[in-house]
Amino acid sequence: MGEETRDRDDGDGGSDDRPSLADQRGVASVYQPAEDSDLLARTARERVEAGDTVLDVGTGSGYVAATLADAGARAVGVDVSPLACQEAADNGVSVVRGDLVEPFRADAFDLVAFNPPYLPTPPEQEWDDWMEHALSGGDDGRRLVDPFLETVERVLAPGGEALMLVSSLTDPDAVRAYASEHGLASEQLASEKHPYEVLVVLRFYQD
Amino acid sequence: MKEDLMEIICCPLDKHDLDLEVTERDDGEILSGQLTCTECSETFPIEDGIPNLLPPDMRDEAPA
């Protein structure tokens, strides 16, 4: 995730002594594209062909979906946050408010991209605002990673694949082991070193 | 939302088809209306052009 300073407008830094994740990252209430979104978007774009139907889970500002739409895909974004949905729609992305892949038909997508909230965060440090939701991966950083891996296969078309951005902070090997338990093979497609983490893009597919 | 989105969305609860009822349309965009599951009859609103397909128990939930 981005380390650069960003404009903040969340307006509720929390009343605790500890800074919130959003404060630490200096971000607004909708996660704005940073190195992680960019790596995922670039990697996914290389794999998408014109006419493919693709889903961007946790679309946020809609960056990955918009990149894939530029490549000629029929791209749809989904996000649980109403603020993110509005921003993605304002950016011209076809968007659905929903929980991961739940509102989509079986076999609907050639490619599903997911840049999950992945910062490991002790429960006492989480606050109830949409930016926390966009950043925090819970205790082990896998709060939404695991449910995604449990459910994504249903919406993949035959030969389809899921690409997920995973940080070294979230233990990519453990993520791949969990996917394997749920019948998904995986490989690493890309990796990029950053000051505090290594970002990797993992590809999940039916063996 | 565009009407062709209907080809890829379904009821988030039981994965059955949805019926579309349009209240307001502008050009090709559906601005408001309602989606109703053909199986369980649960309804989902379309507001400001965005279908809200969260399960009812998550709709008003605070984040995180």
What ipTM was assigned to the predicted interfaces of this complex?
0.94
Q: DSSP readout, B1-64? A: -BGGGGGTB--TTT---EEEEEEEEETTEEEEEEEEETTT--EEEEETTEEB-S-HHHHTPPP-
pLDDT digits (tens, 9 = 90+) for A55-96: 999 999 999 999 999 999 999 999 999 999 999 999 999 999
**Which residues in chain A are closer than 8 Å to B2, comparing Cβ atoms?**
94
Is there a contact between A81 and B63 if contact means CB atoms under 8 Å apart? Answer: yes
Does any domain span residue A91? yes
A162, burial (CB in 10 Å: exposed 0-12, middle 13-18, buried 19+): buried
Q: Is residue A175 part of a domain?
A: yes
**Could you give the C-alpha distances from A28 to A8, A9, A81, in angstroms and in order?**
5, 5, 13
Query: What is d(CA A2, CA A61) in angstroms, rounded to the nearest whole number?
Result: 15
Please name the member of A103, A106, A127 whose beta carbon is closest to the beta carbon of B53.
A103
Residue A180 counted as domain residue: yes
Question: Residue A2 falls within a domain, yes or no?
Answer: no
pLDDT exceeds cutoff 80 at B4: yes
**Domain ranges (residues) in chain B:** 3-53
For all residues of chain A together, what is the average pLDDT? 86
CATH number at residue A77: 3.40.50.150
Q: What is the DSSP string of A96-109?
A: EE-STTTTB-TT-E
A86:B49 CB<8 A: no
Question: Of B9, B48, B63, which has the smallest distance from its Cβ to A96's Cβ?
Answer: B9
Q: What is the pTM of this model?
A: 0.86
Based on the structure, what is the number of domains in chain A? Answer: 1
Show the domain range for A124. Answer: 29-205
Strands B29-37 and B43-47: antiparallel
pLDDT digits (tens, 9 = 90+) for B10-62: 999 999 999 999 999 998 899 999 999 999 999 999 999 999 999 999 887 65
Q: Which amino acid is at A34?
A: A
